[in-house]
Amino acid sequence: MNQESDSNDEPAGQDPLLLLKTIQLLWTKKEMKKLKEEIRRGFAGLENPLAGLLDILESSTDWKGKGHSLGYYITSELQLWMKEHPAVQQSGMKLKKLQTRVLRILAQCPANLLDPLISIYQLHTADRNYLLGHVSHLYHRGDYKEAAILSIKLKLQPDQDVEKMCMPLLFQDKINLMEDYVGEYPELQCKLVQILDTWCEPGFNIRDIARQYQGLSRYKPDKLNRKMLSKLVFRLLDRFNVDPALCPNVINQRHLRTLNYLFYKRFVEKTMTQENWTDHVQSTVGENQWLQGHLIQLLISYCDLNTAARWAQRCNLPKEILPNGVADELQKLKIQESVEEATKAEKYEEINKKDYYQLPIPRANIHFLQKWEEMLQCWEKVLQPGQIVAIDMEWRPSFGMVGKPRVSLLQIAVKDEVFLLDLPQLLEQAEMEGEKEKLPHFIQMLYSDAAITKLGYGMSGDLSSLAATCFALKGMDKQSQGVVDLLTVDKQLQKASIDWKKSSRKVEQSHEDKGIRQPEKGLSLLVQHVLGKPLDKTEQLSNWEKRPLREEQIIYAASDAYCLLEIYEKLCKDPTSFGLNSDLTKSLVGKPTIKARAKKQLNKQEVPSPCGQQCKGSEKETSRPPAPISAKEFSVVCDNMLQGLGRYLRCLGVDVRMLENEDDHRKAAELQSQVGEGRCFSVNCSEKAKEQALQVLKHFNVQVTLEDIFSRCQVCNCNKYLKVPKERMRQLVEGSKHSAGDGGTSCSTLCEEKSSRTCDAAQRTETTEGEWLERTDPCGTAVGLEEGTTLQVAAIPPGVLDKAELTDFYCCTCCGKVFWEGSHFGRVVSQFKDVLVITGDEQSIYKLS
């Protein structure tokens, strides 16, 4: 035996390759108990078990597939066996030789083998420079993903260039891996954010950077645009809690979009007051001269030179950077401040007040509370058994910036009175007095008392913001009882009232001349439908952190809460006139919030209520899981941050539409508005895609069978395939090598045979979804590929056609992607065994790779 390896040091022991043949046979027969015994007996008989494992891995390809392969099983058993026999560990030159060999294997092995092999061969003790050199070799070979994974496992990141390692991952759409690379190193996180921010500079050409990296796969230049990078930077800022000051380009662009939005709200929609608009514009531009310059340009477009000059004066902008017209106008301005513009701007607001919901209580019954002593009267009136309490919250608009909103004002309304709690001031006072739990205790008592009915609108989001404001209130959604979320009733009303949208359009038309261009929505639309007039939302985007609050803000905040009491009272008196069930109160009051129950299945759920029919009956009935649905009947839309989840669901036979990186998030929101209630599900982006998929399947009670696995094309979502015999596929591959183009084979090429022969490719037929299409027809009839589709035969790796066990290939009729039998099927079965429904007829099922 001339092979030079460490296995030559074991002349008296068993041959590792003979052991391999024995365990391969047992693995094929699935005799797992005997297999385990043979592995342990075999390693005990080897002179050098560690070298023997490398001989086995180097001589077999069984370990290269993902999932629980034979190689993984052998390695895991050796790891357990070594704990019982620590003497087999090696050191010195013998260990270094083994480490050199195992590094060559690590570059090819699946992720689940990395940790066991690194542990067995003590790679964390290996020479660091040697490890860095090996990773560098992988990198320069174009194996960017493998280099990054190995660096993470061996914790080499502090000695590497973060830009050099991460940018190829970004180009290859491996964003999760890029985040994992910097995940444990705050300094690298900051560097990564800074690098991405420089890419967002105006005029920066990302393609110039991409040219530095050779052999990039999956790189799509059009997808990696400034908008996508901006979203990624904000995601990293949020995940790693990085200082936003490190990314001025992205922050400036976000502020510029905020400015454009504010101008639209003020001058196009005309739904924002002058005070609110001015306040937000000032806080947005701050002392940033770049933003101030854009502000002047917007003022010229939407207003006039005089207004632009006044703002230039307010911002103290140098005359030399101002447009000529504005600089000239600035010279004409008088020192005294003119009020004409403000008077003109407010004129339309005075006209419309009578067209909106009016608070039915006197101003004296609105109490603004900033001290704990003032809270006692609120406590006494609110915490009464049988009391009905409306709750709302206000916070400063974030305009898409990082971080969860912190509640600035908590509104609590009871019959004939409203209490406005200055939450930041009350919390600060309680902390200074050493009684910081006092206010959270009051709020917890209120929400957890089942004898008090709490009304809200979109209460799930309010409670989330409340928890972000005060840590002691975290988990309030789980403790809440006696809650009625009128958002749930709102959605039932939308289904029950066929004239609602028509009514909304009439209001829009009747107010068009007064500046209201948009139809009512949300709570305002519910108030209009039940009480006759919509809410005036012009104060909604106020700066609620600024003190003192203006009188308009106080009236708006009180109205926002008090209208809930009036809506609830009217619905309870006559629910059937609104198309609701007569047992409205019984079905909604006195139960825990849906949010708390949903959290048992998922971290958060956007639409926390079941559909209208399921709201009938007792609590027991409404808490039933949804009826089972097959994977073939289940359809989902995934946002562009959930493409990994989408791919997993698609491989299980689910009809998945995935929004691409360039798609606007508004498209997801638009699609969300079109689905039935209780069918919109938000997942935690910090979870791995596999866990996300399991949560979705369990939440919607999706029944996946073996037949569903890979019944859809992973690339395009099509569920129709052509079955092509191996020899015919060989001919097509050979033919593609001699033809020009992209290496594919067109539909006509597939049937390029004499009329006296039959086509070996299958003709598409009418079948149930996801079936393999096997019938052959004369070549004169149309093959089942869609028009213009090219078979991607060039993507078949060398050697696949020589595998004896392969007899057929499966071709997507829509995109031409070619699939064949391999190890992927077994891996998916292993990963999703907890949700698979396996019948007696599914013992032997096709596999696709």
Contacts of 265 (CB under 8 A, 6+ apart): 271, 272, 277, 541
What DSSP element (H or E) covers 808? Answer: strand 808-812
Mean pLDDT throughout 345-361? 69
Is the pLDDT at 351 greater than 50? The verdict is: no
High-pLDDT (> 70) share of the chain, % = 76
Structure tokens at 710: 């890979």
Least confident among 144-148, 160-164, 235-239, 751-755: 751-755
Question: What's the rounded mean pLDDT across residues 748-763?
Answer: 34
Do both 70 and 131 map to the same domain?
Answer: yes
| Domain-located, residue 552 | yes
**Which residues on neighbouring strands pair with residue 820, listed in sequence order?**
809
Q: Is residue 239 part of a domain?
A: no
pLDDT score recorded for residue 186: 95
Q: What percent of the chain has pLDDT over 90?
A: 35
The reported pLDDT for the residue numbered 496 is 63
Position 778 scores a pLDDT of: 33
pLDDT digits (tens, 9 = 90+) for 135-146: 999 999 989 999
What is the model's pLDDT at position 162? 96
CA atoms within 13 A of residue 241's CA, in its CB half-sphere: 4
CA distance 746 to 744: 7
> Does the residue 844 lie in any domain?
no
Q: Which two three-digit tokens encode residue 238?
A: 């949020």
pLDDT (mean) for 504-532: 64
Task: Of 648, 785, 791, 643, give the one whose Cα is nearest residue 730.
Answer: 791
pLDDT tens per residue across span 765-817: 333 334 444 433 333 333 456 666 778 887 888 778 888 778 888 898 888 88
Tokens of 88: 């087999």
Q: Of 293-297, 444-448, 845-849, where does mean pLDDT reach its minimum?
A: 845-849
* Same domain as 172, residue 25: yes
Q: Over the chain, what is the mean pLDDT? A: 79
> What tokens does 395 get?
């916070």
Residue 81 counted as domain residue: yes
Does residue 171 form part of some domain? Answer: yes
In a domain, 761, yes or no: no
- Tokens 């039998």 — which residue? 821
Same domain, 370 and 313: no
Residues 527, 503: contact at Cβ < 8 Å?
A: no
Q: Are the C-beta atoms of residues 369 and 378 closer than 8 Å to each other?
A: yes
Rounded distance, CA 643 to CA 665, Å? 14
Neighbour count for residue 632 (Cβ, 10 Å) = 21
pLDDT given at position 625: 65
Q: What is the CA radius of gyration of the chain?
A: 33
Residue 539 carries which DSSP code? T
Mark whether 666 and 584 lie in a shared domain: no
For the purposes of burial, counting CB atoms within 10 Å of the CB of 216, is it exposed (0-12), middle (13-18) or buried (19 or more)? middle
Instruction: Please indicate, yes or no, whether residues 388 and 278 belong to a single structural domain of this protein.
Output: no
More confidently predicted of 637 and 122: 122
Residue 686: predicted pLDDT? 59
Averaged pLDDT, 752-777: 35
The model's pLDDT over 420-433, given as tens digits with 9 standing for 90+, comes to 999 999 999 988 88
Would 322 be classed as within a structural domain? yes
Q: Which of 215, 233, 261 is the last residue of a domain?
A: 215
Would you state the pLDDT for residue 281? 94
Structural domain including 389 reads 355-497+521-588
Residue 683 near residue 645 (C-beta atoms within 8 A): yes
Would the pLDDT of 157 be above 70? yes
- Cα–Cα distance for residue pair 395/401, rounded to 1 Å: 14
Confidence category of residue 645, pLDDT binned at 50, 70, 90: confident
Count of CB atoms situated within 10 Å of the CB of 823: 17
- The 10 Å Cβ neighbour count of residue 245 is 7
Pairing verdict, β 629-630 and 702-703: parallel
Q: pLDDT by residue (tens digit) across 831-842? A: 887 778 865 544
- Out of 658, 678, 696, a domain closes at 696
Residues 284 and 386 in one domain: no
| 260/303 same-domain check | yes
**From 314-318, 411-415, 785-789, the region with the lowest mean pLDDT:** 785-789
Q: How many residues does the chain have?
A: 849
* Residue 594 CA neighbour count, 13 Å, CB half: 26
Check whether 214 has a pLDDT greater than 50. Answer: yes
Give how far the C-alpha of residue 503 lies from the chain's centroid of Cα atoms, to the nearest Å. 35
Same domain, 455 and 545: yes
* Whether residues 135 and 177 fall in one domain: yes
**90-124 exposure pattern, b = at least 16 Cβ within 10 A, e = fewer:** beeeebbbbbebbbebbbebbebbbebbbebbbbe
Domain annotation covers residue 516 = no
Mark which of 588, 620, 639 sits at the end of a domain: 588
- 404 pLDDT band (50/70/90 cuts)? confident
Predicted local distance difference test score (pLDDT) of residue 518? 57
Is residue 702 a contact partner of residue 654, using CB atoms and an 8 Å limit?
yes
Q: How far apart are CA 714 and CA 656, in angstroms?
A: 10
Q: In angstroms, rounded to a whole number, what is the distance separating the alpha carbons of residues 748 and 759? A: 11
pTM of the model: 0.57
pLDDT digits (tens, 9 = 90+) for 48-87: 999 999 998 888 776 665 567 888 889 989 999 999 998 8
Q: How far apart are CA 354 and CA 608, in angstroms?
A: 35
* 63 plus 160 within the same structural domain: yes
Q: 143: which 2 tokens?
A: 């194996």
Q: How far apart are CA 4 and CA 718, in angstroms?
A: 50
**Which tokens sit at 764?**
């598409």
Q: Is the pLDDT of residue 399 over 90?
A: no
645/657 Cα distance (integer angstroms): 11
Among 145, 181, 146, residue whose Cα is nearest residue 160? 181
What pLDDT, on a 0 to 100 scale, did the predictor assign at position 755?
Answer: 29
Domain count of the fold of the chain? 4
Nearest of 103, 160, 159 to residue 126 by alpha carbon: 103
Q: Alpha-carbon distance 776 to 461, whole Å?
A: 57
The conformation of residue 520, written as its DSSP 8-state character, comes to P
* pLDDT tens-place string over residues 580-639: 776 665 545 544 343 333 333 333 333 222 223 233 333 333 345 678 888 888 888 887
* Beta pairing partners, 653: none
Which of 408-412, 428-432, 675-679, 708-712 has the highest mean predicted lDDT (pLDDT)?
408-412
In the prediction, which pLDDT does 577 show?
82
165 and 304 housed in the same domain: no
Give dist(CA 312, CA 309) in Å, integer. Answer: 5
Quick one: tokens of 804? 């004896």
Asked if 38 and 26 count as a contact pair (C-beta separation under 8 A), the reply is yes
Helices marked H in 678-725 — which ranges?
689-699
pLDDT confidence of residue 538: 87
366 and 320, same structural domain? no
E strand or H helix at 418: strand 417-422
Nearest Cα residue to 726 out of 824, 803, 822: 803
Distances (CA, A) of 562 to 485, 526, 584: 14, 13, 20
For the chain, the distance separating the N- and C-terminal CA atoms, rounded to the nearest angstrom, is 36
